[in-house]
Structure 1
Amino acid sequence: MSDDPKVSTTVTRILELSRQDPSRLQQLEKFRRSVAILFTDIQGSTAYFEKYGDLAGLSMVHQCNSLLEDVVSKRGGRVIKNIGDAIMASFESCEQCVRTAVEMQQQLKEVNAGKKDEDCTRIRIGAHYGVGIVKSGDVFGDVVNVASRVQSLALPQQILVSDSLFKEVAACNLEIVPLGRFQLKGKSEEREIYEVRWNQSLPARTNLAHTIIASPTDQVQQFTLQHLTPAGKIDAEHLLVGDGLTIGRNEGDLKFPDDSSMSSPHARIFVHNGQPMVEDLSTQLGVFIRLKGVFTLEDRDIVIVGGQLLRFESKPEILGAATAMAVAVPDVTRALHEDAARFVRLNNDASDQQKYLSIMKDEMRFGRTSGDYTFPNDRFMSRTHARVYLRGENYFLEDLSSLNGTFAKVRGTSPIPVGTSIRVGREVFALV
């Protein structure tokens, strides 16, 4: 959160905690070593719970995770923890880490054989190799943060690995293909991301998460921007060519003079190296992209959940302290009596309502009638709409197949996944 005096106070209290045992941080160095970290996450578990009830949902999650845990153990890995319907595991061998991921997907494919598509259990897997603090049956550090970030980029039935893990298994008999680049939270450099191809019957994934910048391609691709009516019908179509299309109230290729929430110009949508991109040119609220997959939250991000305009605020000093001291984030927040993160409710002009939604658990849900935070009068909110969850030092936001979607404000210039919606002022567009 951005208030400097409060940050200074929090940092001071963290230092006081560490001084209570000054040898603790030095002792942690002996637990630092290279390790491969794997995360799994079950796709669509919320919809399963709503369709079949809590008991059936819990049984599905238990059966799935028990199968995955058996694969981890068989291949020499160690299950670190279960986080909701997710698993975190560690491996000394990078090859066994990747082969575990492949076997997980293969076994679930067999389990799903003969089931209706909506009843199939599908998982997203991400893995990374790096240095972490391995202590007391847990792992802490950047290796966990990057692994969770990689997993957040994966689609159902997909296995993604980082560049460092790829280098360790490049000589193994595995089919691994480059997918693109992504940026780590709080860091300027981009990292390569790779897909482990485990099932040739699955089509190549071109519908990337909007945080992945696709690898350059020589293929000539055409993209169309569709303007949608409030009812979701196509009002007009525009081919993206040349420098793309600029959208604004009184300036640009597409003008909307009656939209008082739109700037002039407001946004530019274009194609770069085969990747559709959007650039925020606005002086007002900004440009929003409908989430496809999982979104990594950063301090001051603005999101739309149903009809709620929210600003995310976090205290990286608390998250960093948990990693540095090799303890769980809730342990630090309890000791400090402070939340590590929260949402601030905003008015339509982005001014604060002075109402806060604290993120007090590893996972919290938003919905009209179901969740940790409910909004019964929000007609744009689905029963269970979205969730925010913590992995390592990262907070993630995921839409739970809601009717009206969850949107995140663009940070400057951002990739756009094909098939998603873009909000510019009050206007909504789709990219196809």
Structure 2
Amino acid sequence: MNGKHDRDDRRSDNLSDLPPETILETDEEMRRAQDAIQRTKPRSDHSRGGQAKETNASVFYRPTLRPPMPILKVCDDGKSTGEIVRIRTEHFLIGRTEGDFRFPNDPQISARHLIISSHQTDGSHSWSISDLQSENGLFVRVRKGLLQHNSEFLLGGGKYRIEVASNSNQSPNRRHSGGTQNWGSSLPDGTTTLTEVLSDGHGERIVLVKAGYWIGRDATCDIVRRDDIFASRRHAQILRSANGWTITNNKARNGVWLKIPIVNLRHGQECYFQIGEQRLCLSIGVDK
């Protein structure tokens, strides 16, 4: 990886509590990737041959002592816009049947699915999004993510799981029974596989042996999602790295969503996340 990419990976939006090499994808990056907003700066008076005017404009008042108010966006179906909820409590519970915000019509959301909480350490405020050991977990939109044993991610309309073969990762019965094993149940230690997770069980399993794999709708991809209308032609790339494997979003409209149990956000940061089939965004002091 070249120096430019190394510098990009060390940007401030790479939160310290996330797994190594995992970087959240921001709203601004999504807008740039999809060309949804074209920003143009007006020419200064210098560019017109005139004298630059001094600017003494003030900014809107905002609190400086209390923590900033988090803004939760509940995305409408098929859109990046949606209902805006201002969180004015230290804890905000989201679930299907319990909580401050509920999704009673989504059976993939647990009764108590996640909680958004405020924290203060040495005068510094932060907020966390924590999965409450839900059945289907918390998925966070990432620009780049580290894939370890049992990592799961959403891509297009599909869900995948990474598994790394190891004696310690196998059940005692599988390791020591000496009886008949399922076909393909035993793989050499360190072998990494990618399995599509289907509603009725596991789908196709691929042993990762190459340095990289493209996933997308295009027939030239290594892993083809031919009939997936939510997948881009070349949606994402899985690459071998020093820490194992990483997945990088290729500016795909619908992104890559990595399963993470908890995310911490500081002032000026935001996070898109998904529970069940519902997508949301939490912003902490981010100008929109």
**Counterpart contact for 1:210–1:414, Cα < 8 Å:** no
For 2:146, the equivalent position in structure 1 comes to 296
Separation in structure 2 between the aligned mates of residue 382 and residue 218 of structure 1, nearest angstrom = 44
**Counterpart contact for 1:268–1:280, Cα < 8 Å:** yes
Separation in structure 2 between the aligned mates of residue 180 and residue 385 of structure 1, nearest angstrom = 24
1:235, CA displacement in angstroms?
A: 3.3
Kindly tell me: are residues 268 and 360 of structure 1, through their superposed partners in 2, closer, same or farther at Cα, counting changes over 3 Å? same
For 1:145-224, list aligned pairs within 5 A. 153-155=9-11, 181-182=16-17, 209-210=23-24, 220-224=67-71
**Counterpart contact for 2:215–2:236, Cα < 8 Å:** yes
Match among 110, 129, 133 for residue 263 of structure 1: 110
User: Which secondary structure does the structure 1 equivalent of 2:280 belong to?
Assistant: strand
1:180, CA displacement in angstroms?
A: 6.4
For 1:125, the equivalent position in structure 2 comes to 6
Separation in structure 2 between the aligned mates of residue 260 and residue 426 of structure 1, nearest angstrom = 9
**Counterpart contact for 2:166–2:188, Cα < 8 Å:** no
Question: Does residue 287 of the first structure (1) align with residue 138 of the second (2)?
Answer: yes
For 2:191, the equivalent position in structure 1 comes to 340
For 1:322, the equivalent position in structure 2 comes to none
Separation in structure 2 between the aligned mates of residue 316 and residue 183 of structure 1, nearest angstrom = 24
Match among 75, 98, 111 for residue 228 of structure 1: 75
Give ranges in structure 1 of 5+ residues lacking alignment: 1-85, 88-103, 105-122, 127-150, 161-178, 186-207, 212-216, 318-335
**Counterpart contact for 1:387–1:400, Cα < 8 Å:** yes
Match among 155, 163, 171 for residue 313 of structure 1: 163
Q: Which has the higher contact order (CA 8 A, sep 6+)?
A: 2
Match among 354, 358, 361 for residue 210 of structure 2: 361
Separation in structure 1 between the aligned mates of residue 6 and residue 148 of structure 2, nearest angstrom = 22
**Counterpart contact for 2:15–2:23, Cα < 8 Å:** no
1:249, CA displacement in angstroms?
A: 0.8
For 1:431, the equivalent position in structure 2 comes to 282
For 2:52, the equivalent position in structure 1 comes to none
For 1:396, the equivalent position in structure 2 comes to 246
Which amino acid letter does the alignment assign opposite residue 226 of structure 1?
A: K
Separation in structure 1 between the aligned mates of residue 257 and residue 224 of structure 2, nearest angstrom = 18
**Counterpart contact for 1:339–1:360, Cα < 8 Å:** no
Kindly tell me: are residues 180 and 304 of structure 1, through their superposed partners in 2, closer, same or farther at Cα, counting changes over 3 Å? closer
**Counterpart contact for 1:210–1:416, Cα < 8 Å:** no
Cα deviation digits, residues 370-414 of structure 1 (max 9, x gap)? 421111101111001011111223211111110111111122x22
> So what's the TM-score if we normalise by structure 2?
0.66
For 2:272, the equivalent position in structure 1 comes to 421
Please state which structure has a larger fraction of its residues in helix: 1
User: Which secondary structure does the structure 2 equivalent of 1:125 belong to?
Assistant: helix
Cα deviation digits, residues 128-148 of structure 1 (max 9, x gap)? xxxxxxxxxxxxxxxxxxxxx
For 1:108-119, list aligned pairs within 5 A. none
> So what's the TM-score if we normalise by structure 1?
0.45
Which amino acid letter does the alignment assign opposite residue 107 of structure 2?
A: S
Cα deviation digits, residues 95-129 of structure 1 (max 9, x gap)? xxxxxxxxx6xxxxxxxxxxxxxxxxxx2226xxx
Kindly tell me: are residues 230 and 282 of structure 1, through their superposed partners in 2, closer, same or farther at Cα, counting changes over 3 Å? farther
For 1:250, the equivalent position in structure 2 comes to 97
Kindly tell me: are residues 180 and 431 of structure 1, through their superposed partners in 2, closer, same or farther at Cα, counting changes over 3 Å? closer
Separation in structure 2 between the aligned mates of residue 283 and residue 345 of structure 1, nearest angstrom = 20
Kindly tell me: are residues 240 and 366 of structure 1, through their superposed partners in 2, closer, same or farther at Cα, counting changes over 3 Å? same
Kindly tell me: are residues 233 and 403 of structure 1, through their superposed partners in 2, closer, same or farther at Cα, counting changes over 3 Å? closer
**Counterpart contact for 2:92–2:115, Cα < 8 Å:** yes
**Counterpart contact for 1:263–1:282, Cα < 8 Å:** no
For 1:17-32, list aligned pairs within 5 A. none
Kindly tell me: are residues 280 and 222 of structure 1, through their superposed partners in 2, closer, same or farther at Cα, counting changes over 3 Å? same
Kindly tell me: are residues 218 and 183 of structure 1, through their superposed partners in 2, closer, same or farther at Cα, counting changes over 3 Å? farther
Count of residues in Structure 1 that have an aligned counterpart in Structure 2: 220
Which amino acid letter does the alignment assign opposite residue 115 of structure 2?
A: R
Which amino acid letter does the alignment assign opposite residue 194 of structure 2?
A: F
Q: Provide the alpha-carbon RMSD of the alignment.
A: 3.3
1:310, CA displacement in angstroms?
A: 0.6
